[in-house]
Amino acid sequence: MDKIVIEGGRRLEGKVRINGAKNAALPIMAACLLLHGPSRIKGIPDIVDIRTQIRILENLGGEIRYLEDGSLEIIFRDGENKEKVTAPYDLVRKMRASVCVLGPLLSKRGNAKVSYPGGCVIGQRPIDLHLKGLSALGSSIETKEGYVIASANKLRGTRISLKGQYGTTVLGTCNVMTAAVLAEGTTIIDDAACEPEVQDLAHFLNKAGAKISGIGSNALTIEGVKELHGIDYEIIPDRIEAGTFMIAGAITRGEITLENVREDHLAATIEKLREIGVEITTNGNYTTVKSNNDYQPANITTMPYPGLPTDMQAQFMALLCTVSGKSVITEGIFPDRFIHSAELRRMGADIQVDVPYATINGTPFLSGAHVMVSDLRAGAGLVLAGLVAKGTTHIHRIYHLDRGYEQLEKRLSQLGANITRVQE
């Protein structure tokens, strides 16, 4: 197993290019099951979650390869591999997002057998809303031996609300949308997620021949069509990767320019960073983060889009640990998503957690320590803390980071960080 070792204290400077969004790529790749013929998708990041999704789709009969220009070609052919409907436990357990093959499989092959994704360290993560939506479209669903087994002779349009205890559901909206595009009649999804990644999936499907309107709002209308065809498509830039690099610039009091950024997708993150005192300027596809030493503490609440993303919470926590004064974080999506706070405490942070709140009293400095990554974004928060900590930080279990950030240590090192990957 590898670990990351960081000698903190370097000011980061330079330029970094942001990759395509992992959370847009995963459901779009699954949606290729619905399309007849080849699709070529640009901007797919080279990360472990994408490799897992490729294996899942290959198991389902997909022909997948990288082309010379770096795009990923995915081919499913109508009428072939009808019997292949299983997403097995050993792949689904590696990545919960594999559950997004459920809607396309049901729609295209009439059956789906997908390992039930369990809870994880960021919380319970049920899929009841996914199943409620698919049932409303006419699917029968049972859970057997750890698998969701769904079948439908014909899916029919209907009106569905995806409102749950913590708002709507991102992948649930993707599943219901992908099941509805080929259903008979019109489907209205109320309380749909409108995250940029969900919008990207809808744009992808429309380009392939679907009729989805209301994109970007909380009510999607989907008129069923008879067939969808393969297309060329470019994934949106990853707003969480961009936000993570912005905080890398801010926390090291450096100056970084990010290329390939959609500023509109980052509005809440940028607004909060400016409130803290980080200077951010944008120029078309480029965003520059410039810092000073005069940061203010802040109160943060994570919310569904366009609110501040929960996937930026750990990174903001790391930053606020270095800002003198009291900050409060309210986790509005996954109330238990605070495991990283215990690791940050090992580095000298002063954080009290009383779910769903974390109160942070900024300390003059963090110090290097051995810390353990519990999930992808927690890992990003720990790397950011390590960049500014005095001394050496050893970050263990970095396979979580490899799931979602392409060559993170290499790109940070190109910006001037003293960071290396070491075999344990």
**Strands ordered across the beta sheet of 357-361:** 299-301, 326-330, 357-361, 350-354
Using CB under 6 A, which of 3, 109, 130, 203 touches ligand EPU?
Answer: 130
174 is catalytic: no
Is residue 129 close enough to count as binding ligand EPU by CB under 6 A? yes
**281 phi and psi angles, rounded to 5 deg:** -125, 145
CB of 79 to ligand EPU, least distance (A): 30
Question: Given the complex with ligand EPU, which of 237 and 404 has the nearer CB atom?
Answer: 404
Using CB under 6 A, which of 238, 241, 263, 311 touches ligand EPU?
Answer: 311
Q: Which two tokens stand for residue 363?
A: 């300390």
Is residue 200 close enough to count as binding ligand EPU by CB under 6 A? no
Is residue 165 close enough to count as binding ligand EPU by CB under 6 A? yes
* Candidates 32, 120, 174, 321; catalytic one: 120
**Strands ordered across the beta sheet of 159-161:** 159-161, 186-190, 219-223, 211-213
CB of 192 to ligand EPU, least distance (A): 11
| Residues of span 355-394 touching ligand EPU by CB under 6 A | 376-377
What single letter denotes the amino acid at residue 160? I
Is residue 169 close enough to count as binding ligand EPU by CB under 6 A? yes
Question: Given the complex with ligand EPU, which of 102 and 387 has the nearer CB atom?
Answer: 102
Using CB under 6 A, which of 80, 124, 159, 211 touches ligand EPU?
Answer: 124
Using the rule CB under 6 A, give the single segment among 31-39, 122-130, 276-284, 356-364 that binds ligand EPU. Answer: 122-130
**Cα dihedral angle (156, 161, 167, 168), rounded to 10 degrees?**
20
3-state secondary structure of 303: coil
Distance CA 160, CA 139 (A): 13
Using CB under 6 A, which of 257, 310, 313, 322 touches ligand EPU?
Answer: 310
Is residue 199 close enough to count as binding ligand EPU by CB under 6 A? no
The separation between CA 295 and the C-alpha centre of its own chain, rounded to angstroms, equals 28
| Residues of span 14-33 touching ligand EPU by CB under 6 A | 23, 26
Q: Which two tokens stand for residue 376?
A: 């992808």
The separation between CA 79 and the C-alpha centre of its own chain, rounded to angstroms, equals 32
DSSP state of 171: H
Question: Given the complex with ligand EPU, which of 241 and 409 has the nearer CB atom?
Answer: 241
Using CB under 6 A, which of 172, 224, 237, 368 touches ligand EPU?
Answer: 172
Distance CA 125, CA 175 (A): 15
Place of tokens 């200077």: 279
Which residue blocks in 71-155 are alpha helix, DSSP H? Answer: 89-92, 102-109, 128-136
Using the rule CB under 6 A, give the single segment among 5-13, 125-133, 229-237, 346-354 that binds ligand EPU. Answer: 125-133
Question: Given the complex with ligand EPU, which of 38 and 164 has the nearer CB atom?
Answer: 164
First to last CA, the chain: 6
Contacts of residue 283, defined as CB under 8 A and 6 or more positions apart, other chains included, come to none
Is residue 164 close enough to count as binding ligand EPU by CB under 6 A? yes
Contacts of residue 153, defined as CB under 8 A and 6 or more positions apart, other chains included, come to 110, 138
Is residue 218 close enough to count as binding ligand EPU by CB under 6 A? no
Using the rule CB under 6 A, give the single segment among 118-126, 215-223, 346-354, 359-367 that binds ligand EPU. Answer: 118-126
What single letter denotes the amino acid at residue 335? P
Q: Which two tokens stand for residue 327?
A: 């900050």
Nearest by Cα to 349 from 320, 374, 370: 320
Question: Given the complex with ligand EPU, which of 29 and 419 has the nearer CB atom?
Answer: 29
| Residues of span 387-416 touching ligand EPU by CB under 6 A | 404
Question: Given the complex with ligand EPU, which of 169 and 291 has the nearer CB atom?
Answer: 169
The 322-341 contact track toward ligand EPU, x by CB under 6 A, reads: -----------xx-------
**87 phi and psi angles, rounded to 5 deg:** -110, 105
Residues annotated as catalytic are 120
Q: What residues line the site for ligand EPU (CB under 6 A)?
A: 23, 26, 96-97, 123-130, 164-166, 169-172, 197, 309-311, 333-334, 376-377, 404
